[in-house]
Amino acid sequence: MIKNALRALAGMAILAAGIFVMNGLIGMKETPPVKPRPATARAVKVISAQPDTLVPSLGIEGRVQALNRMTVLSEVSGRLPVGGKEFREGVTYSRGEAMIQIDDSEQQANLVAQRSQWLQLLAGSLADIQLDFPSRAEEWSQYVRQLQVDQMLPTLPEPKSDRERLYLTGRGIVSGYHTIRATEERLEKFTVRAPFSGTVTSTSVQPGSMVRAGQPLGTLVETEAFEVKSAVHARHLDLLQKGHSVSLAQEGGSIVATGQVSRISGNVDVATQSASVYCEVRAEEGHTLRDGRFLSGTISLGTMAGVLSLDDQLIEGGEQAAVFAVRDGKLELVPIQVVHRDGGRALVSGVTPGTPLLAEPTSGAHEGMLVEVVNL
């Protein structure tokens, strides 16, 4: 039995050794090489670069402000009349039209008396003028005949000699004339006229009330010329010039006003990095502008030659701006110069006409990337 056991153990050992040798031989076989997976080209769309002469625009928005506004003041004291075109909020006036007429009846009566006395003085001097200055008698007689005590004095005839000037001065004719003219000019201040066409936006007096010299009577706002103040980022300022055309639109897109850039601030706000740009505008026919209205629009920045308009997302950043072109089935970065950016678009230069550029942003795009153009 012992011999049979030994034989069994020996057989098992020989079998195990055989299995070990077989596994070693199997492990010595060469592993077949793994074939690399072929690179897959990304399907892309391209556009053919065609630089052109374009007129870029800059979007703006701001509040309409009347170009001219003034506080209406009284230069004299008196009572406001009742009736007629009353000075009230919402009333419009044309340039030069009387807005307020302060009662001047007393002053007018005194002025008529002054003219009457001066006319008597001048008429009584005609005999002396005929005797001492016969060549001047006819001109002075004609002047006296045209005088009316209820009308402004016409310009006094110019003396032809020092002797005539001394005579007129000595008789009080010159001083009397200038006294009356000063009174006439003062009387004009009883009528407050509109210095520009506008609308009354506020008043502080009522018809029939007394006013005093220097008292504010209300506010007049111009209705023809307006200004829009807009904040423009500093990166756009080099392209802006006085005189660039401006158009403003209302909701819906219709143009309500046009004009031009009138002023550009010389300071840039530290916090916003923007400067104030002022545009003088006038309402288009059929539209009305009102002080305080908020509008948006565009400024045309002038003509730019040899530029291409691209989606701003196509511009690669870094030290040198660039865009992806397709050459021989691969992406290649082409250096460019960004001339202007606004509203998600960029104007660029430096691209050779006909260069196939990526038409839309491509995720993971990099130089040397294999691509397949699908829109040619």
pLDDT at 46: 92
Number of H helices and E strands in the chain, helices first, is 6, 24
Distance of CA 151 to the CA centre of its chain: 48
- In this chain, the answer to whether the domains covering 44-55+304-373 and 57-65+224-300 adopt an identical fold is no
- Map out the domains of the chain as residue ranges: 44-55+304-373, 57-65+224-300, 68-96+200-222, 105-188
The residue count of the chain comes to 376
pLDDT at 18: 54
Taking domain 44-55+304-373, whether its CATH number is 3.40.605.10 is answered by no
**Is there a contact between 97 and 194 (Cβ–Cβ < 8 Å)?**
yes
- What distances in angstroms separate CA 342 from CA 70, 294, 346, one per listed residue? 37, 21, 7
3-state secondary structure of 4: helix
pTM score above 0.75: no
- Domain 57-65+224-300 is of which CATH architecture? Beta Barrel (2.40)
pLDDT at 4: 53
pLDDT at 216: 94
**Per-residue pLDDT for the chain (376 aa), expressed as one digit of tens each?**
545 544 554 555 555 555 554 555 455 555 556 555 556 888 999 999 999 998 888 999 999 999 899 999 999 999 988 877 888 999 999 999 999 999 999 999 999 999 999 999 999 999 999 999 999 999 999 999 999 999 999 999 999 999 999 999 999 999 999 999 999 999 999 999 999 999 999 999 888 889 999 999 999 999 888 999 999 999 889 889 999 999 999 877 789 999 999 999 999 999 999 999 999 999 999 888 888 899 999 999 888 899 999 998 999 986 789 999 999 999 999 999 988 888 788 889 999 999 999 999 988 899 999 999 997 5
Please choose, from the candidates 275, 234, 283, 237, the residue with its C-alpha nearest in 3D space to the C-alpha of residue 257.
283
Class of residue 340 by CB neighbours under 10 A (exposed 0-12, middle 13-18, buried 19+): buried
